[in-house]
Structure 1
Amino acid sequence: MRLTRSATIAALLAALCCSAPGPLATSAFAADAPATAAREGWYGHRVDGAFVAGYAVLPKPEGVTIVDSRPAARKYDRGHIPTAINIPDGQFDKLVDLLPADKNQLLIFYCEGVDCMLSHQSAFKAERLGYTNIKVYAEGYPDWIARGNLGAVSVPYLKKRMDDGAPITVVDSRPKERKYDKGHIPGAISIPDAQFDKLRDRLPTDKARELYFYCEGLACSLSSDSAVKAVRLGYTNVKVVPEGYPMWAKLYGPGPTGEMAAAKPTIQAGKEAGSITIASFERILRDAPDTIHLVDVRAEKQFRAATIKGAINIPIDALEDSLDELPKGRPIVFFCTSGARSGDAYDLIKEKKLPVEAYFLDANVKFDKDGNYRLEEN
C-alpha cells in the first residue's frame, strides 16, 4: 500500500511539472516538444506552443528573447506573440544588435507557420554568431492564435488604426489616479484591472469589437490580465499592446491628462459629407454623451422597440413639419438603421439652411432583443 501511494504521488508531481507552462520550463522539455515532423532545411532544435507560452508572459521574463522573423508592417505590427521583438530575416544583419549580448541566453525564433522558413534561416544565422541556446517554434504565429492565446500589436499599428478612424476601443488597465490621469493614450478609456468587474459596463456591447489593452510596458501584467477577462466575457477580437504607454510617450509624446480628457470630444467627420465616424460617435457616447443630441429618425414603432440611450424620436416623414422641435444648444446626430434616413435628415437641415450643427451616422445599427446595439460600417 505504501508503494502504491508513493507511485501515485510521484506520477501526480510529474504530471504537474510537465503540464504547467511557465518560465521554469527546461531545454530538455523543449527538445522533446516539437509537434510537427522535421522538414528539409529546418533548424534542429524546435519547441511547441506550450513551451513558448511559458515565456510569452507579462511581466517579461529575464533570460529569454522571443524573435519574430516576419516583416514588420505586413505581419509583426498587426499581430505577434506578446513580448516578442521583431527582427525580419531579410534585415537580420542590420538589426542583429537587437539580440542579447549574452550568447547563452535562450532565443526562440518563429514566423508564419510550418511553410515559413524565415525563423529557421534566422536561427542558423544566430548560431553562426555564437549563440548556444536557440529554439524554433516552427508552427509559429498561426498556431499560437489557434491555441487560443492572446495576440499583441505594436504601438505604431495601434496609432494607425486610431488615425484611420477604425471602430476600436482602447483600454488603459493602469490605476486611474496614479497613472491614467497623469497621461494616457488619446481616446483610451480607463478600466483599471483591479476594478474590471465593477467597470466592465464601459466596454462596448458589440462582442466582436476590436479591443486593445495596454498598461505600463513589458514589466506590467495588468493589460494581459484584463484582456483575458474580456475574452472570458465573450469578446472575440482582443489584443494587448505590451509596450504600452511608455512606448506611446516615447514615439508620440505624452498623452492627455485626466483633466484634458474631460474636455469636449472632437467630432470626426466620416467619408460621406455630414457623416460622423463610428469611432467618433462611440467615443462621444462613452466619454461625453451630454455634449450631443441624438435624434432617431426611424418609425415610432421601431423607436419604442429599441433605441440608443438618450435619443429622442422624430420620424423622417415628420421631420420637415417638426423642425422647431429639434433640440438646441449642442450638435445633433441623426441615426436610423442603415444611414439612409439619417442621411436624408441631414440633407433636409442643409436644404433649409438651418443654423444647426448636424451630422448623421452612416452605419448599420443593429439591436438585439435586450435593446443592446452594435454598429457596423456600410
Structure 2
Amino acid sequence: MNRIYGLLLGALLMVGAAGCGTEAQLEAAEPEPFTSASEQDLSDYIITEEEEGEQEHVPYNEDWNYITTLELMRVLDGQETTSQDRNSYDDVPPEWSGVALIDARPREVFAAGHINGAVNIPDSEFDSLTDMLPEDKETMLIFYCGGLHCPLSGSSAEKAMELGYDNSYVYQEGTPAWKQAGNYFTVDESYVEEKIMESYVAREDTEPVLLIDARTYEGYFNAHIPTAVFWDDTQYDVKYTGFAPENKEAEIIVYCGGFFCHKSHELAESLLGDGYTNVKVFAGGMPAWKQAGLPVFGMESGGEEFDVSAGKVDRSVSADEFDDLVQKGSTVIDVRGESETASGMIDGAIHIPDGDIHANDPGVEEKLPDDKKDTLVIHCASGARAAGVVEKIADLGYEEVYYLNGPISISSDGSYSLD
C-alpha cells in the first residue's frame, strides 16, 4: 500500500527538517490538530515559498498510499489539460480517465491557486460534500494540501478510504513541491476579481499583477476583464517577450475562452519556460467571469458595434453554418494538437497543428487540396486557434476559407457536437 512512500521519504530526508531525520522520528511526531475553516489560520496553506524545517512534518502513516510530485506529473500528463464538458470548478473534468484530484484546503485558498483540474473538498467539510466524489469507488483519488506539514490531505484520504475508496492517495509534498517543479496554478473568478479591485490596485504595499487575455483580438475588443491586456499566445516568442515583466517573480494571470480553451494554458507554459515563477491560469475564463455577473470593458459593455476587422472578409462561421459546410463536403482542417486529435477527428478531416501553420512549415501547403477554389473550414476546440490561422491559409490562395467561431466536441467515432 505504501509502494511510493520510499520516494517521498527520500524527499523528506533531503529536506533535512528538524524531527524528520528517520522514520522512527516521523512516527513519533503527532500531527497538529486542525479546526473548522472559519477558525483556521490559512497562512500555512497559501501558495508561497515556504521555509521547510520551521514546522513539523505530518508523520508517515503505513495505512496510506503516497504519491510523489514526479508520479503525479506523470499521472496528469496522461489527462486532458482542458475540458469540453466541464462547466465549473466543482466538476472533475469528464475527460479524465480513472482519476480525480482533490484539494483538501479551505475554499479561499483553493480559489487563489490550485492544481489544474482539481476540485475543492475542504477537509473540514468533507462529510457534507461526499456527493462530489466519483460514483466509481475504483477511481484513483489523489488528495493534496499545503505541503509536508499539512495534515488535511491525509485526513481526507483516510475518510475516503473509510467510504470504500481504497484507491486513494496522499500527495503529501503538496502545492510547494508542485510549484517548485515548474508548474503553474489555476485560479477562479473570485481571485481575479480581488486583483482588479481598487482596494488592491491602489494600495502601495501590493505588487502589480499582469492580467493577460489570450483570446482573439476581436473577442478582446468586444469584451475583456478590466485591466487585462491582449497577447496572442501564438506570437509570444516573436512579439510579446519584450513586454513581459522584467521581474521573473511577478504575478501573471492568463485567461481565454473557458475550460475548453487551450490558449491560456499554452501561454502559461511559454511564460514558465521563459523563467517566470508566479504564473496562474484563470481556467474558467470569460464564460465564468460573465456568469458571475462581473464587469467587462469593450464594445459589448457600451452596447455598441464596431467592425474591428476594418472591412476585411469575415471568415467566421456559426455552429449551424459550420455544420452546413461539413455536410456539403467542404474540406475540414483540424488545427488542434496531437493529444486532442488522438481522442477523435471528424471523418475525412486534415490534421495540421496550428503551430505548424504559424511556423510557415512548407509541409502545410502539401497537405491542403490542390484546387485553390475548394472550400475549407477550419476548427480547433474553441475557435481561438482556428481564428489565428485562417488568414494564413487564405494567404496561400484559398479564397473560400472559414473557421468555426465556437466550441466543438468530437467523439472517437468522428461524430461531433457544437455547443
TM-score by length of 2: 0.50
- Equivalence for 1:100: 134
Is 1:79 the equivalent of 2:113? yes
What SS does the aligned partner of 1:65 have? strand
- Residues 276-291 of structure 1 correspond to what in structure 2 (within 5 A)? none
- Equivalence for 1:48: 68
- Verify the 8 A CA contact 1:207 1:236 in the aligned structure 2: yes
- CA pair 43-142 structure 1, distance change in 2 beyond 3 A: farther
**CA–CA separation in structure 2 for the residues paired with 1:92 and 1:135:** 16
**CA–CA separation in structure 1 for the residues paired with 2:172 and 2:247:** 35
- Equivalence for 2:236: 196
- Residues 220-369 of structure 1 correspond to what in structure 2 (within 5 A)? 220-253=261-294, 255-258=296-299, 260=301
- Verify the 8 A CA contact 2:2 2:64 in the aligned structure 1: no
- CA pair 106-216 structure 1, distance change in 2 beyond 3 A: farther
What SS does the aligned partner of 2:112 have? coil
Letter in 1 for 2:81: L
- Verify the 8 A CA contact 2:223 2:301 in the aligned structure 1: no
- Which of 105, 109, 113 is matched with 1:70 structurally? 105
- Which of 158, 168, 171 is matched with 2:212 structurally? 171
Compute the displacement of 1:143 (Å). Answer: 1.1
- CA pair 199-260 structure 1, distance change in 2 beyond 3 A: farther
* Structure 2: stretches of 5+ with no match in the other structure: 13-22, 27-58, 83-92, 202-207, 305-419
- Equivalence for 1:58: 81
1:241-277, CA deviations, whole angstroms, 9 ceiling, x for partnerless residues? 222222212212573445659x9xxxxxxxxxxxxxx
Compute the displacement of 1:217 (Å). Answer: 2.9
- Equivalence for 2:187: 153
Letter in 1 for 2:214: S
- CA pair 40-208 structure 1, distance change in 2 beyond 3 A: closer
- Verify the 8 A CA contact 1:106 1:134 in the aligned structure 2: yes
**CA–CA separation in structure 2 for the residues paired with 1:71 and 1:42:** 26
Is 1:112 the equivalent of 2:112? no
Moved more, 59-68 or 85-94: 59-68
What SS does the aligned partner of 1:196 have? helix
- Which of 169, 172, 180 is matched with 2:220 structurally? 180
**CA–CA separation in structure 2 for the residues paired with 1:105 and 1:180:** 39
- Equivalence for 2:172: 138
1:130-183, CA deviations, whole angstroms, 9 ceiling, x for partnerless residues? 224211111111111122221222221111121134321111122232x43453
CA-atom RMSD in angstroms: 3.1
**CA–CA separation in structure 2 for the residues paired with 1:202 and 1:248:** 25
Compute the displacement of 1:187 (Å). Answer: 2.4
Letter in 2 for 1:136: V
What SS does the aligned partner of 1:248 have? helix
Aligned residues between the structures: 235
Letter in 1 for 2:103: D
- Equivalence for 2:385: none
**CA–CA separation in structure 1 for the residues paired with 2:132 and 2:117:** 13
- CA pair 209-182 structure 1, distance change in 2 beyond 3 A: same
- Verify the 8 A CA contact 1:43 1:123 in the aligned structure 2: no
**CA–CA separation in structure 2 for the residues paired with 1:29 and 1:245:** 42
**CA–CA separation in structure 2 for the residues paired with 1:29 and 1:211:** 37
**CA–CA separation in structure 2 for the residues paired with 1:216 and 1:96:** 30
**CA–CA separation in structure 2 for the residues paired with 1:31 and 1:104:** 21
- CA pair 219-53 structure 1, distance change in 2 beyond 3 A: farther
- Equivalence for 2:122: 88
**CA–CA separation in structure 2 for the residues paired with 1:28 and 1:217:** 38
Letter in 1 for 2:269: V
- Verify the 8 A CA contact 2:226 2:295 in the aligned structure 1: no
- Verify the 8 A CA contact 2:214 2:256 in the aligned structure 1: yes
**CA–CA separation in structure 2 for the residues paired with 1:28 and 1:222:** 38
Letter in 2 for 1:58: T
Compute the displacement of 1:111 (Å). Answer: 0.9
Compute the displacement of 1:66 (Å). Answer: 0.9
- Verify the 8 A CA contact 1:49 1:137 in the aligned structure 2: yes
